Amino acid sequence: MEIKSNTQDGIMVLTPIGRVDSATAKDFENAVMAATQTSNKIAICFNQIEYMSSAGLRVVLMLGKKLGASGGVLVLTDMPEKIFAVFKMSGFDKILKIATNFEESKPFFN
């Protein structure tokens, strides 16, 4: 698994590539938690994710809680339908901010 990062309009955008499962979740966790040292506004773009397990969901939830506790914002964007289905089935679509694409995520950061 690889994670690309860049900053757009003051928002750290992380793009994981591949699978987030029990074998890669620790790398994913390390990368997203490290991003909180740089920014408290983070968007995760899921358009290059093939698979997300419960281990990946746990990391996303931890990140959301950490950012929320410090006044930051996490928005999940560009989810393929099969990845969105995982978030919806777990109920995470009710507790996390999810936008169709990065442009639609911008109001969450204001």
Structure tokens at 7: 């900053």
At 45 the pLDDT is 98
Complete domains list, the chain, with CATH? 2-104 (3.30.750.24)
Phi-psi region at 80: left, alpha or beta (left = phi > 0; alpha = psi -120 to 50): beta
Instruction: Give mean pLDDT in consecutive 10-residue pieces for the chain, a chain of 110 residues.
Output: 95 97 97 96 97 97 96 98 96 97 96
At 5 the pLDDT is 96
At 15 the pLDDT is 98
Residues 6+ apart with CB under 8 A from 35: 5, 12, 14, 42
At 37 the pLDDT is 95
At 43 the pLDDT is 98
The answer to whether 25 and 51 are in contact (CB under 8 A) is: no
At 11 the pLDDT is 97
Strands 11-20 and 2-8, by their bridges, are: antiparallel
